[in-house]
Amino acid sequence: MDTSFPGHIAVMGGGSWATALAKLLLQGCESITWYMRRDDRIEDFKRLGHNPAYLTDVDFDISRIDFSSDINYVCNRADTLLLVMPSPYFKDHVDKITVDISRKNIVSAVKGIVPDANELITDYMARVFGTSMSRTLVVSGPCHAEEVALDRPSYLTIGCEDLALAETFANCLRGKNTHAITSSDVDGIEYASVLKNVYAIAAGIVHGMKTGDNFCAVLISNAIREMERFVDAVSPRQRHICDSVYLGDLLVTAYSRFSRNHNFGSMIGKGYSVKAARMEMEQTAEGYYGAKCIWDINQHHAIDMPILNAVYNILYRGVSASRAFRSMAQTFN
C-alpha cells in the first residue's frame, strides 16, 4: 500500500456531493476507487459514463474508476477514505466495515452529524474504528455540488490538526475554478456545517411564508452569532466566524436555489406539513436531523439558541411556523 499521503483515494458515497468531489479529484489523480451501495447504479454509471441519478451532465472516464458496492473491498484498496454519505445513513454504511481501517487517512465531507449518537463524524470514526485524529481531515465551505458541475468558482476549506496534510489534500482538489484553503479548526468546521443546514431551513421557512428580505437578513445576521456562541462553547479556540467556511457556507446554504435545506424549509413555510415536505424531497435535507442532534447536545450546555429552538419546535413538536418565528423574532437585534 502507498504510504505517502494521500495515496490511493476512495470516494465513499454516490450522491451529488460525492460526484462533484470525484470530478475534482480526477483532475489530478490518475485513478480512484468509488464505493456506491447499489450495484444497478454502478452498472448504469459504467454504461452511461456519468452518474445516472446526480449531476448527470458530468462525464467521467470510467477506465480511471474502480467501482464497488463492497465497502470492505474499497477500504482495503484505498489509503485515504473520503466519506461523502448523507449523515442520516452514515452509520448504515460504515457499520458494515469489518476490516481494520485504524491506519487509514480519513477525510470527512459529510456535512452533518451522526444521528442518535449526536457525535461528529470524525469523533465517531476515531471511537469506533480507532482512526487517528492526526490523520483525519474535513472538507467544507461554500461549494454547491451543482456549481462544481457547472465549473463555477467554488471555495473549499480543508481542516486538519496537521496543516501540511491539509495543504496536500487541498492540492488534490484545487482547479481552475476551485479554490482551497486550510484550517486546523476541525471540530468548529464540522459543527458549523451542521448548524448552517438548520439555519438554511429557517431561511427557507421565511421565504415560504413571504416574510420578506429584511426579516431574512436579520435572521441570518442573528444565525451567525448563534453559530459563534455554540461553536465557541463546545470547541473553544481562536477562530474568525466571518471566514468562508462558517459565514460563507451559511449564506450559500441559506439563499441558494440549489440548497435542499432551504427548499425543505420553504415548503414548510408555504404550509406543507413536515411529513409531507420530507416525502416531497428527492434528496435528504440534513438539517432536519441536524436540528435534533444539536438541540440534544445543547441540553448539556444551555447556550442561547433561539433560532435552533424555533426550528426544532417546528420540526419535532408540531409548533406552527408563524408561532415559532414570532417568539424567535422577539430575541433578535
Do 203 and 315 lie in a common domain? yes
Residue 165 predicted with pLDDT over 70: yes
pTM of the model: 0.95
Closest CA to 306 of 273, 333, 277, 267: 333
> At 37, which CATH number?
3.40.50.720
Do 80 and 108 lie in a common domain? yes
Do 97 and 134 lie in a common domain? yes
Which pLDDT does position 111 carry in this prediction?
A: 87
Do 287 and 145 lie in a common domain? no
Mean pLDDT, range 299-304, rounded to an integer: 97
Residue 217 predicted with pLDDT over 90: yes
Q: What is the pLDDT of residues 72-114, one digit of tens each?
A: 999 999 999 999 999 999 999 999 999 999 999 999 999 889 9
Q: With left for phi above 0 and alpha for psi between -120 and 50, is residue 143 left, alpha or beta? A: beta
Do 132 and 259 lie in a common domain? no
Closest CA to 287 of 271, 306, 305, 263: 263
Q: Which of 163, 184, 205 is the last residue of a domain?
A: 184
In a domain, 3, yes or no: no
Do 44 and 178 lie in a common domain? yes
Which pLDDT does position 257 carry in this prediction?
A: 87
**Among 4-13, 174-183, 257-266, 279-288, which stretch is predicted with the lowest mean pLDDT?**
279-288
Q: Parallel, antiparallel, or unpaired: how do β-strands 119-120 and 113-114 relate?
A: antiparallel
The set of residues, in sequence order, having a beta carbon less than 8 Å from that of 1 and lying 6+ positions away, is: 7, 8, 79
Residue 266 predicted with pLDDT over 70: yes
Band (pLDDT 50/70/90 cuts) for residue 304 is very high
Q: Parallel, antiparallel, or unpaired: how do β-strands 80-83 and 65-68 relate?
A: unpaired
- From first CA to last CA, the distance across the chain in angstroms is 56
Q: What value does the mean pLDDT of the chain take?
A: 96
How far is the C-alpha of 109 from the C-alpha of 113, rounded, in Å?
Answer: 11
Band (pLDDT 50/70/90 cuts) for residue 283 is confident
Do 65 and 175 lie in a common domain? yes
Total number of domains constituting the chain: 2
- Residue pair 143/154 in contact (Cβ under 8 Å)? The answer is yes
Do 200 and 318 lie in a common domain? yes
Copy the grid coordinates of residue 42. 454502478
Copy the grid coordinates of residue 31. 485513478
